[in-house]
């Protein structure tokens, strides 16, 4: 599988012609996990820091993310006697990524993830006392903020930044990078008062709104601009099978505009062809929705069945790519119609998320509740005998601690074996959605961005989904936030340190 990266004309600006409007030590572009972490870290290093976002609100995809973060040797693992290791964490990420990952990057995430979690505590983030096991992980290592929302991480970080001297601006889009004669990044061309207009089939470059300004940057620019999942036109140049009718979990601003600008400036990219689908989407709601949140206990403690037979067809805790591929393989009927798989758990399994999440799902008519399996089967037109056999077999596997069909790992919930026997029963229809772009710009363990000649570009750093390399072919669930926090901090610190060097010269 190989993708041809679209070519773009060089867009460099002659620095000698620029009249600077403002001067900063560090410019952070993007306000999600990576951008917010970079901003906080740059401030802690004493840098005069500006964070911008092209959207009218802060947070990007991070604000609508479920907030799950997987780290090794957390206090949550220690309290529950869970044995884990950096090596096992890396092994799980490499397996999901089909061993295409940039190994030194995932090693950095593995060894620094728990430090990033503890750092976030000091910045005002609160986590609830829970530990989960996402699909593809060998052991439970996933934790959550007080509610399942990435905004519960980004907002405290942004509040810390503002309280410690950062300037944060929305509706500012980065148009170009400005270099000196040596090639070092020394500034940025932006447009303030930018009006984002959502049209996934058009090129965002056609939007000329806003007032042009030039920022002089003494240290570095941190690109934390996220992925391009909602840029239908661009993603189809990468993978034509990702057609416009395929829904997306991202916010509308998740376009390739910043990526294309960097490519025009000679930045190297990798893994653009790997675009991940989330297997926990539902056709009964648009965007990210509530189904992915409820999917955590449903996949962990329940089953996913083919509605035409009532039989399981995949390990419900396999990684995202394996599950998404399995769903798309079986859900089309010969006449072209679709039959969506059904995910089912019982009342014990449903306790794996908050009551508020369950109520939200029911209220939105995404999650259905049934007193009996027979009622559930009738509602979804599933052959009852086939479904009941699946339930009986799964119950036997759960109590034996061995899945004879798909080798799914079993674990108890609060000392109880979730075995699909305790009503009421909860169910929802599953359909993968475009979720995450693994590809992006190439960096090293110092978060330095590389050019197409294989050299680091002085003054340019990147972190988060804007980067290619950490996740290979498919990102392992709950590994994005540690990636963003770890490399956001590294990028922010190194950008700030460049400004310190400039002041000493």
CATH topology of domain 280-431: Flavocytochrome C3; Chain A, domain 1 (3.90.700)
**pLDDT tens per residue across span 471-500:** 999 999 999 999 999 999 999 999 999 998
pTM metric for this prediction: 0.84
Please state which architecture CATH assigns to domain 19-275+437-503: 3-Layer(bba) Sandwich (3.50)
Tell me which of 232 and 243 has the higher pLDDT.
Answer: 232
Q: At a CB cut-off of 8 Å and minimum separation 6, what does 463 contact?
A: 34, 35, 37, 38, 222, 223, 224, 443, 447, 483, 484, 487, 488, 490, 491
Look at residue 245 and tell me whether its pLDDT is greater than 90: no
**How many angstroms separate the Cα of 391 from the Cα of each of 40, 314, 316, 323, 397?**
49, 15, 14, 20, 10
Phi, psi (rounded to 5 degrees) for 284? -90, 10
Range in 239-253, 260-274, 420-434 with the lowest mean pLDDT:
239-253
Residue of 244, 269, 251, 249 lying closest to 259 (CA atoms): 269
Pinpoint the residues of the chain covered by CATH 3.50.50.60. Answer: 19-275+437-503
Residues of the chain with CATH 3.90.700.10: 280-431
What are the CB-based long-range contacts (under 8 Å, 24+) for 384-389? Answer: 384/310, 385/310, 386/309, 386/310, 386/311, 387/305, 387/310, 388/310, 389/310
417 has a pLDDT exceeding 90: no
User: pLDDT tier at 505 (50, 70, 90 boundaries)?
Assistant: low
Beta bridge partners of 106: none
DSSP-derived secondary structure letter, 204: G
CA 464, CA 34: separation in Å to the nearest integer? 5
Phi and psi angles of residue 127, each rounded to the nearest 5 degrees, phi first: -120, 145
Q: Write out pLDDT tens, residues 327-385.
A: 989 988 999 899 999 999 999 988 887 788 889 899 999 999 999 999 999 999 999 99
Question: For the residues 132-155, what does the mean pLDDT come to?
Answer: 93
The pLDDT, as a whole number, for residue 220 is 98
Q: Give percent of the chain with pLDDT exceeding 70.
A: 97
**Which of these is catalytic: 320, 323, 429, 448?**
320
Is residue 408 very low, low, confident or very high in pLDDT (cuts 50, 70, 90)? very high
Would you call 323 a catalytic residue per the annotation?
Answer: no
């Amino acid at each position: 599988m190989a993708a041809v990266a679209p070519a773009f004309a060089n867009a460099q600006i002659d620095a000698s012609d620029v009249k600077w409007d403002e001067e900063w030590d560090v410019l952070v572009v993007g306000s999600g996990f990576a951008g917010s972490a970079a901003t906080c870290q740059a401030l802690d290093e004493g840098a005069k820091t500006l964070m911008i976002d092209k959207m009218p609100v802060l947070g990007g995809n991070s604000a609508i993310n479920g907030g799950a973060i997987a780290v090794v040797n957390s206090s949550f693992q220690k309290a529950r006697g869970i044995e884990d290791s950096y090596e096992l964490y890396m092994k799980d990420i490499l397996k999901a990524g089909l061993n295409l990952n940039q190994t030194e990057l995932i090693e950095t995430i593995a060894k620094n993830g728990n430090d990033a979690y503890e750092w976030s505590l000091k910045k005002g983030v609160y986590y609830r006392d829970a530990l989960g096991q996402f699909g593809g992980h060998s052991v439970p290592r996933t934790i959550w903020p007080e509610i399942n929302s990435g905004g519960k991480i980004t907002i405290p970080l942004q509040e810390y930044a503002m309280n410690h001297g950062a300037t944060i601006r929305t509706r500012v889009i980065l148009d170009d990078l400005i270099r000196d004669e040596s090639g070092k990044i020394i500034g940025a061309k932006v447009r303030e008062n930018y009006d984002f207009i959502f049209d996934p089939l058009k090129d965002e470059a056609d939007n000329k709104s806003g007032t042009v300004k030039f920022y002089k940057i003494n240290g570095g620019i941190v690109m934390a601009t996220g992925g391009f999942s909602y840029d239908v036109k661009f993603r189809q140049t990468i993978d034509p099978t990702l057609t416009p009718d395929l829904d997306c979990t991202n916010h509308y601003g998740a376009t390739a505009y910043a990526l294309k600008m960097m490519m025009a400036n000679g930045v190297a990219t990798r893994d653009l062809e790997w675009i991940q689908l989330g297997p926990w989407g539902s056709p009964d709601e648009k965007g990210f929705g509530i189904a992915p949140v409820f999917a955590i206990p449903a996949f962990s403690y329940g089953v996913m069945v083919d509605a035409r037979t009532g039989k399981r067809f995949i390990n419900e805790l396999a990684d995202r790519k394996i599950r998404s591929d399995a769903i798309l393989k079986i859900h089309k009927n010969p006449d072209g119609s679709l039959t969506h798989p059904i995910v089912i758990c019982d009342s014990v399994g449903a306790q794996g998320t908050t009551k508020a999440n369950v109520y939200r799902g029911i209220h939105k008519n995404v999650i259905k509740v049934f007193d009996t399996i027979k009622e559930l089967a009738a509602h979804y037109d599933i052959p009852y005998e086939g479904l009941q056999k699946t339930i009986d077999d799964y119950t036997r596997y759960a109590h034996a601690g061995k899945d004879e069909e798909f080798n799914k790992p079993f674990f108890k919930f609060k000392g109880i074996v979730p075995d699909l026997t305790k009503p009421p029963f909860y169910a929802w229809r599953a359909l993968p959605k475009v979720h995450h772009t693994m590809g992006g710009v190439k960096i090293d363990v110092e978060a330095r961005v590389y050019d197409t000649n294989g050299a680091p570009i002085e003054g340019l750093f990147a972190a988060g989904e804007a980067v290619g390399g950490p996740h290979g072919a498919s990102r392992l669930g709950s590994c994005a936030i540690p990636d963003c926090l770890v490399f956001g901090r590294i990028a922010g610190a190194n950008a700030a340190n460049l400004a310190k060097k400039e002041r000493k010269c």
